[in-house]
Amino acid sequence: MTRTLVIGGTLFIGQALVRRLLERGDEVTILHRSPGTPFGDRVRELLCDRNDARAVQEALAGMAFDVVFDNVYDWERGTPAGPVVAAARAAAEGGGLKRYVFVSSVAAYGGGVDHEDDDALAPPDHPESYAREKAESERALFQLHREEGIPVTTIRPPFIYGPENPFYRESFFWDRILADRPVIIPGEGERHMQFVHVEDVGRSLILAAHRDEAAGKGYSLGNYPPVTQVEFVEALARAAGRPVRLAFIPRERIEAAGGGVFGPPLYFGIYLDLPPITAKARRVKEELGLEPVPLNQGLQETFEWYRRQPRPEPDFSWEDELLGQVG
């Protein structure tokens, strides 16, 4: 039985991963801040703040794990490299660690499209904290691998979608498509976007944990080629079996009206209208054998989940005002 630690196992990626681990018979421990998990007594809990390096070291003292999956990022405070390195070292000190798998992000490249897995990561002075911290964490982990022999692997997903997504992304658009409302498209809608199904993230993590060739490497994920913003919205409409009306509005007008990327009033889901960062994601196929779920298939599955959920009544007032201004 594999002794497995999951750092952050109760939300989106964590739940998909832990379900797979339990199905295959792992002995799973979840390290997180608040008591209680969706898995009841099938998992063990360690309660501490993963951003507190000393608390993590104390929580892991005297414990041994075969595999550690580190998949949590603190969106309010950030998660710099220090706590990540502390967790990796503490897990290794327990003895028997075969792999430390860190969930990074395609954002770790800092920008640009069609990245290869060995491309340079964002520099330490990158202006975006999320990209900077993911890149710094990866560099620090690979240094541990080289200098201390800790077997690390990093996984770099793009936008993650799928059932149980806690972020207002796919549901944002379906709320509008099903209400026969126009969907706001920023600019010409030509920015490229890359997606990966949450189940593919879980599968890639487990594959990376058990393949010898994965030690010391980073793996980008995602459907390839990417899609434009317009193509993504059209794919969402196909999944719902409904037509969609697109309202193209210059970003300057959206920003002037107060439209938000990270918080309300949202105009294109949360955290989706960003400069493109994409990767070819070839190594994960060639070395780990992961074939991603096709985007259209994954969106159809996600829509079926969406339809079963109770939905609060959306507030369209800001959009109505903006649409009225642009005619």
| Measured CA distances, 61 to 92, 101, 255 (Å) | 10, 19, 49
Per the prediction, the chain carries an average pLDDT of 97
Three-class SS state of 183:
strand
The C-alpha atoms of residue 233 and residue 253 are separated, in whole angstroms, by 20
For 56, residues 6+ apart whose C-beta sits below 8 A from its C-beta are 31, 48, 49, 50, 83, 86, 87, 90
- What the chain holds in terms of domains, given with CATH numbers, is 3-159+195-220 (3.40.50.720), 167-194+228-275+299-326 (3.90.25)
Q: What is the pLDDT of residue 9?
A: 82
Q: Which two tokens stand for residue 170?
A: 């796919």
| pLDDT tens by residue, 98-110 | 999 999 999 999 9
DSSP string, 98-134: -EEEEE--GGGG-SEEEE-TTSPPPPTT-S-HHHHHH
Q: Supply the pTM of this predicted model.
A: 0.96
| Residue-level pLDDT at 1 | 86
Count other C-beta atoms under 10 Å from residue 78's C-beta.
Answer: 12
- Percentage with pLDDT > 70 across the chain: 100
For 116-175, the pLDDT digits (tens) are 999 999 999 999 999 999 999 999 999 999 999 999 999 999 999 999 999 999 999 999
Helix runs in 151-261, H state only: 170-178, 198-210, 229-240, 251-256
Question: Is 327 a residue whose pLDDT tops 90?
Answer: no
Tokens of 292: 């991603």
Distance set, CA 117 to CA 75, 284, 294 (Å): 25, 9, 21
Evaluate if residue 17 carries a pLDDT over 90.
yes
Residue type, 205: L
More confident residue, 200 or 10: 200
φ, ψ (nearest 5 deg) of residue 99: -165, 135
Mean pLDDT of 230-239: 98
Mean pLDDT of all residues in 210-223: 98
Name the 3-class secondary structure at 275: coil
Tokens of residue 302, six digits = 């996600």
The pLDDT score that the predictor gives to residue 301 is: 98
Residue 82: which pLDDT band, with cuts at 50, 70 and 90? Answer: very high
